[in-house]
Structures are given as C-alpha cells and as structure tokens.
Amino acid sequence: MKKFWQIGWRLALCAVLLLWIFHSIFVNEARLAHRTEWSQFSRVEQWKLGWQEGPSALVRTVASVHKGLFALSLVLMASTLVLGVIRWRMVLAVQGIHLPFGRAAEISLVAHFFNSFLLGSTGGDLMKAYYAARETHHKKTEAVTAVFVDRLVGLWAMLLFAGAMMIPNAKALFGGEDRVTRFAVLLILAMLVVCSIVLALAFRGGLSKHWPGARAWLRRLPKGEYFERSLDACRRFGSEPLFLMRALALSMLLNVMCVVQWIVVGKGLGLSIPPLTMFSVVPVVICIAALPHTPSGLGVRENLFVHMLDNPALATSGLSLSLLAYAGSLFWSLVGGGVYLLLKEKHHLGESELVGKGDAPESTTVT
C-alpha cells in the first residue's frame, strides 16, 4: 500500500501538471484565432473554446511537420540535455562530488519535467537542488550550490552567445522602430552585465575582501553557516584553473545545438528563415523566457518569437515553430515525468566518493 500510494500521488501530480501545460497551449491557440472578440468572452467561454479548437489545431500543426526532421529535432534536444548533464557533473567535480552519469541524468530529467510548468524555464532547478542535496550526507550545501552555479554559468553563456549574435544582425535589431524588439535586445544586454557582475563576485569575492566584518555579520543571520559555506563553495570555482573556460566552451556548444534544433523544426515546417536570423532571435527569446513570469515561459516565448521575426506572412507558422520546438522539450519532459515516478527516494553516495583530504563532513541537513 505504501508503494502504491507513492506511485499513485506522483502519477496524479504528473497528470495535473501536464493537463495545465496543454490547457495553457490550447487557450493560447484559441486566443490567437479569436483575437478581435477574445476580450468579450468570459473565462469559462475562453477555456471552452480552447478545448474545442485547441486539440484539432495542435493535431493539424503536428501533422504538417516533416516527421523525419521533427524526429531529428528530438535528438538534437536530447543532445542539449546530455551536454547539460556533462556540464553539471563538471561543476559538481569542482566540489569533490563525483555523481555517476546515470544518476545525474535521472535528476536532470526530473528537473526538466518540472521546468515545464514552474515559472520561467529554470524552475526545475529547485527540484534539482533538492535531489542533489539528498545524494550526500556530507556536502549538501556544496551540492545545492553547484546546481545554481551550473544554471548561472549556463545563463551567462547563453546571454554572451545572444550578445555576440547581435553583432551581425545589429542593423535589423537596432535600426527599426520596433520598440518591443529594441526593449528585448536592451534587456538581454542588461542581463548580461548583471550576470557577469554576479559571476565575478561569486567566483572572486566582493564585500568580504574589503569589509572584514562581513563574514561575522553573515554568521549571525538565520542559517548563516549555510550562506558562508555556499560562498566558500563559490570561491572554489574561481580558484579552479580553466574551469570557467571549459564550462563556457561546453555551454557554447549546447547553445549552438539548441538553435540548430529550432532551425531543423523550421525546415520541417517548410519555413524560409535565414539561419543567421535564427541565431540572433532564438537566444534572445530563450533568455527572456527563462525569467519567472509564466509557466515554462509559455506564451511569452511564442509571442516574442513571432514579434521578432517581424513578418506577417510568418506569424502563424512562427507560432507553430515555437510550439513545436517547445513540443520537443515537452517530449523529454514526459520522459522526465516517468523517471520522477520511478526515482528512488534515497541514493546516497558513499563518504569516500564525496569527502576528499582536508574536507570536513557536513553534519547538518538541508530541509
């Protein structure tokens, strides 16, 4: 009965969350189809229209794509997940945590599943941090810190990639009168500056170097010992030779594969969008969709992508492209949901795998 209950409530949770994902997509499709009179409908009428028209519209969209190219896009999406697992294990290794690839892939797939409905496209990191902390008795804080450092490095690399791709497309992005596109570009540049500053402070130190009492004040905070230990873990990344360069190189490869996935889906729909345009638009859309405003960035990603294409003839197809690119991510989210149902509650690594010479075991636990 205990095992039945554990699987049952997880299955129910998966069903509710997936229902929410499809509901959001169907209502968004209905809103675009009834744009002029949409505000006149009540909320119940909007939902009813979504479920009357959404499933058939989704079937038509999926049926129109070239099956072989869509399958290739799923493989490309899988390659980005594999590269993400490799980068996370690289980050964990700096902290002396050597998580087996299979276990790291399991946790990453579960995190990817939760990314599909939590705010932004990074909400699954909370679940990833939770499971990472459960992997060890001795380095819980370091394991959690590694999750967020991995995300920070990945976001910084994508922002850097987006900024670099703006250079050959500067005329199209900055030369027009489109305020939305200009705001999106300026937002990406501002995020790049802020992320670079945060990364530098995390890896190289900041206030504690110039304010001797900073650490003492930090220890007086509730759970201050965790904050201090997290800072020490971050400093370890800055002192590791070539870590940032290796992580950046891997992240850039991941970014390229991500954009190529969108290009392949576009080819499957028969769209003629220049690859250079895709390399400039897709990173901007992905970075802004990562902000915590809607579940998995749904709606924001689609509307921004269509808007930045700035071509009325591509509006409907652009929406289909964005949804199908998201469908590739959703496919692997379903796989992650299956892994979540079967994931072992406890899978602690041995002390010899986690504690190196001079490392003190962490006696406290993360709640």
Per-residue pLDDT of the chain (367 residues; tens, 9 = 90+): 776 776 677 667 666 766 776 777 678 778 777 878 888 888 898 899 888 877 887 677 667 788 899 999 999 999 999 999 999 999 998 888 888 898 899 889 988 888 876 655 556 788 888 888 887 777 888 888 888 899 999 999 999 999 999 888 877 777 666 777 888 888 999 999 999 998 888 887 655 555 666 556 556 666 656 667 777 788 888 888 788 899 999 999 999 999 999 999 989 988 888 888 899 889 998 888 877 666 666 667 777 777 777 655 555 566 778 878 888 888 898 888 888 887 655 544 444 444 443 344 443 333 3
Domain end marker among 64, 86, 112: 64
- Cα–Cα distances in angstroms (integers) from residue 205 to residues 76, 157, 193, in the given order: 37, 20, 17
DSSP letter at 119?
B
User: Is residue 87 located within the same domain as residue 57?
Assistant: no
3-class DSSP state of 2 = helix
Residue (of 309, 329, 13) closest to 180 by Cα position: 309
Asked if 144 and 51 sit in the same domain, the reply is no
Close Cβ partners of 339 (under 8 Å, ≥ 6 residues apart): 106, 109, 110, 113
- Kindly state whether residues 191 and 78 are assigned to the same domain: yes
Domain that holds residue 134: 67-354
Residue 326 lies in a domain: yes
**Residues 71, 41: one domain?**
no
Q: What is the pLDDT of residue 210?
A: 58
| 136 and 122 Cβ atoms separated by less than 8 Å | no
Residue 57 and residue 320: Cα distance in Å, rounded? 10
Tokens of 214: 């900073």
Task: Say if residue 170 is in the same domain as residue 71.
Answer: yes
Rounded to an integer, what distance in angstroms lies between the CA atom of residue 47 and that of residue 316?
21
pLDDT reported for residue 234:
80
Domains: count for the chain: 2
> Nearest CA to 247 among 34, 86, 17?
86
pLDDT of residue 357: 37
* Residue 362 belongs to some domain of the structure: no
CA separation for the pair 251, 241 (Å, rounded): 17
Q: In this predicted structure, what is the pLDDT of residue 181?
A: 80
**Co-location of 99 and 50 in the same domain:** no
Query: Domain check: are 25 and 174 in the same one?
Result: no
**How far apart are the C-alpha atoms of 281 and 307, rounded to whole Å?**
10
Whether residues 212 and 136 share a domain: the answer is yes
Output the pLDDT for position 189.
92
Cα angle, residue 130 at apex, residues 125 and 135 outer, rounded to 5°: 120
Domain closes at, from 44, 64, 84: 64
The counts of H helices and E strands in the chain are 16, 0
Decide which of 48, 64, 80 is a domain's last residue: 64
Same domain, 51 and 74: no
Query: pTM of this prediction?
Result: 0.74
